[in-house]
Amino acid sequence: MSAAERPDVGSLGRDDDWSAVRAVVTGFGVSGFAAADTLQHLGAHVVVLDESAPAPGSAHEERATLLDTLGVDLRLRAGSTAELPDDVDLVVTSPGWRPEAPVLRAAADRGLPVWGEVELAWRLRAADAPPWLCVTGTNGKTTTVQMLDSILRSAGLRSAAVGNVGRPVLEAVMDPEPLDVLAVELSSFQLHWSDSIAAEAAAVLNVADDHLDWHGSLDEYARAKGRVYEHVEKACIYAVEDSTTEQLVRDADVQDGARAIGFTLGVPAPGMLGVVDGLLADRAFAPDRQTSAAELGSVSDLPDDAPHTVANALAAAALARAHGVEARAVRDGLRDFRPGPHRSELVAEIGDVRYVDDSKATNPHAALASLRGVPSAVWIAGGLAKGARFDDLVEAVADRLRGVVLIGADRAVVAEALARHAPDVPVTEVLAGEDELMDDVVAAAAAMARPGDSVLLAPGCASMDQFRDYAARGDAFATSVRRLPGA
């Protein structure tokens, strides 16, 4: 079929006829299923490509059976992604699929539109769709989105935290249950495959080395993050202490009237949110912001006073205020917020040693924030480094490292940084398989720890070389800690 004969998929909405559209969905994860299910519901002919079949008895197998029953062409086997089928009008890719993947490269060569699930969701919004408040950044995205959702609910709004946080955006957009606003967490992968999203307000929390193996460079990674600011309607929220985020705002093409709003851990200038004598202060949305500030609660209202927690709260507050939420609801929402598991979660305290699970710290920037939150640590680190380096991290925290236990495929990257910047810190490498790995890791860490220390699982790396995901890694750590004498 020639380009002139193809359906104009870019002009189709949720109420249009998709029966002439032949769509390919690459990847059969959570977002891939949402895309395939939605497209077949709209009437499109759908082919799903993935290199592996779902595990027997898994939720994915149940979803595959459902789609097969509905007439979706499932090609879930090795080699299925090597070629793009003929007569394709649209490709919807799962996040994480690189542009160099053969099917995506073939789609680009044919001039086909390639969207992510989030881009498809934006295009299928209803006429009266709720606005999106979007959050991205190297670290803190999930916490900030969940804080934002708590604030919005405290304001009496029907809100949902969606996107990279768990529930696909597309699922929420197509849900007949009405919502007032969406709190949307977006990864750099999701943003790479999106180009028409126009958030009501958006925040980039921070930018540091992460996923450089995917994006190729820090500049490209930052550019992907900055796409969240494109077409913003009301407010671009940036971190005053991170100049990259401010530059991304300057580079963005926003709607007329959109404001740049900073958040800082210091005293805020007009147009910013910050901290004054332990209070969260708003000088961006307050009526008399040139001379006064609106109080949005206290640092003591937050789960802890770690700098990254305060920064996340300020970003969430800024997004909520951009949506028109009153100051009291911000305070109440932050008071009600409880962090999710594997985020600086205290597992046990044994013999005056704290065992802390921060398995969600999957890059050096996140691990640095975690290590700065304790005075003395036995640090458990390693996994898949994703192209990141650890020199700056180790140099910054060398004086608080009691010892280090290294695991994973890229443990040598961390070991080399330790040798350069903390040569006197004891280092143990644990090479066991997954079944016994954490028992050995925790035993080694416990032997190094002294009263007052924290044994801190903040790996600074992804987990998939040894574990299903960061949650499985954290669960294994917690199980092993609870086996220690005195636990």
The model's pLDDT over 319-378, given as tens digits with 9 standing for 90+, comes to: 999 999 999 999 999 999 988 778 888 899 998 999 999 998 998 988 998 898 888 999
pLDDT band at 414 (very low <50, low <70, confident <90, very high): very high
Q: How far apart are CA 271 and CA 259, in angstroms?
A: 9
Q: What is the mean pLDDT of residues 249-275?
A: 97
- The structure tokens 């003591």 sit at 300
Tokens, residue 151: 């604030």
| Torsion angle of the four alpha carbons 143, 145, 151, 157, in this order, in degrees rounded to the nearest 10 | -150
Per-residue pLDDT at 344:
82
Q: Could you tell me which residues come within 8 angstroms of residue 360 by beta carbon, excluding any fewer than 6 positions away?
A: 142, 342, 343, 366, 470, 474
Per-residue pLDDT at 292:
85
Higher pLDDT, 211 or 392: 392
Query: Is 438 within the bounds of a domain?
Result: yes
Q: What is the mean pLDDT of residues 169-192?
A: 93
Q: How far apart are CA 31 and CA 118, in angstroms?
A: 9
Q: How far apart are CA 266 and CA 474, in angstroms?
A: 33
- Average confidence score pLDDT of the chain: 92
Query: Is 140 within the bounds of a domain?
Result: yes
Q: How far apart are CA 238 and CA 483, in angstroms?
A: 44
Higher pLDDT, 205 or 57: 205
For residues 228 and 264, the answer to whether their CB atoms sit within 8 Å is no
**Nearest in space to 317 (alpha carbons), one of 451, 80, 135, 70:** 135
Note whether 361 and 309 are same-domain residues: no
Q: How far apart are CA 169 and CA 119, in angstroms?
A: 9
Note whether 46 and 175 are same-domain residues: no
Question: 269 pLDDT exceeds 70?
Answer: yes
- Give the domain range for residue 371: 345-481
Query: Is 12 within the bounds of a domain?
Result: no
Strand (E) or helix (H) holding 345: strand 345-350
pTM of the model: 0.79
Query: Is 9 within the bounds of a domain?
Result: no
Per-residue pLDDT at 91:
97
Note whether 143 and 80 are same-domain residues: no
Higher pLDDT, 133 or 363: 133
Question: 215 pLDDT exceeds 80?
Answer: no
Provide long-range contacts, Cβ within 8 A and 24+ apart, for 342-345.
Answer: 342/470, 342/471, 342/474, 343/142, 343/143, 344/304, 344/306, 344/370, 344/373, 345/474
For residues 369 and 308, the answer to whether their CB atoms sit within 8 Å is yes
Query: Is 219 within the bounds of a domain?
Result: yes
Note whether 415 and 299 are same-domain residues: no
Q: What is the pLDDT of residues 287-306, one digit of tens each?
A: 888 888 999 999 999 988 88
For residues 89 and 22, the answer to whether their CB atoms sit within 8 Å is yes
Cβ neighbours of 77 (radius 10 Å): 12
Tokens, residue 486: 């005195």
Question: 435 pLDDT exceeds 70?
Answer: no
pLDDT band at 459 (very low <50, low <70, confident <90, very high): very high
Query: How many structural domains is the chain composed of?
Result: 3
Q: How far apart are CA 150 and CA 133, in angstroms?
A: 13
Name, of 1-10, 35-44, 355-364, the range with top average pLDDT: 35-44
What is the 3-state composition of the chain as percent helix, strand, coil, each rounded to the nearest 5?
Answer: 35, 20, 45
Q: How far apart are CA 222 and CA 238, in angstroms?
A: 13
> Parallel, antiparallel, or unpaired: how do β-strands 294-298 and 279-282 relate?
antiparallel
> Parallel, antiparallel, or unpaired: how do β-strands 427-429 and 353-357 relate?
unpaired
Per-residue pLDDT at 178:
86
Q: How far apart are CA 67 and CA 25, in angstroms?
A: 12
Query: Is 135 within the bounds of a domain?
Result: yes
Question: 4 pLDDT exceeds 60?
Answer: no
Note whether 207 and 332 are same-domain residues: yes
Domain edge (last residue) among 301, 336, 371? 336
Per-residue pLDDT at 216:
67
Per-residue pLDDT at 386:
84
Per-residue pLDDT at 3:
55
Question: 24 pLDDT exceeds 80?
Answer: yes
Q: Comparing 64-78, 289-303, 429-443, which segment has the lowest mean pLDDT?
A: 429-443
User: Where residue 398 sits, what CATH number does that domain have?
Assistant: 3.90.190.20
Q: What is the mean pLDDT of residues 64-83?
A: 93
Note whether 183 and 216 are same-domain residues: yes
Note whether 324 and 353 are same-domain residues: no
Q: What is the mean pLDDT of residues 454-466?
A: 94
Tokens, residue 192: 């790479």
Q: What is the pLDDT of residues 78-98, one digit of tens each?
A: 999 989 999 999 999 988 788
Per-residue pLDDT at 438:
93
Q: How far apart are CA 50 and CA 96, in angstroms?
A: 13
Q: How far apart are CA 441 and CA 100, in angstroms?
A: 37
User: 464: alpha, beta or left, given left = phi > 0 and alpha = psi -120 to 50?
Assistant: alpha
User: Where residue 65 sits, what CATH number does that domain have?
Assistant: 3.40.50.720
Domain edge (last residue) among 73, 88, 112? 112
Tokens, residue 128: 């009266």
Query: Is 142 within the bounds of a domain?
Result: yes
Note whether 42 and 145 are same-domain residues: no
User: 164: alpha, beta or left, given left = phi > 0 and alpha = psi -120 to 50?
Assistant: alpha
Tokens, residue 137: 């950044």
Note whether 140 and 43 are same-domain residues: no
Per-residue pLDDT at 225:
94
Q: Kindly list the strands in the beta sheet with 427-429, ordered across the sheet, starting from the edge strand earlier in the chain.
A: 345-350, 353-357, 454-457, 377-382, 401-407, 427-429
Query: Is 465 within the bounds of a domain?
Result: yes
Note whether 137 and 24 are same-domain residues: no
Question: 310 pLDDT exceeds 80?
Answer: yes
Note whether 216 and 349 are same-domain residues: no
Q: What is the pLDDT of residues 139-155, one digit of tens each?
A: 889 899 999 999 999 99
For residues 254 and 231, the answer to whether their CB atoms sit within 8 Å is yes
pLDDT band at 217 (very low <50, low <70, confident <90, very high): confident
Note whether 132 and 31 are same-domain residues: no
Domain edge (last residue) among 336, 353, 371? 336
Task: Sort 353 into a burial class: Cβ within 10 Å, 0-12 / 13-18 / 19+.
Answer: buried
pLDDT band at 104 (very low <50, low <70, confident <90, very high): very high
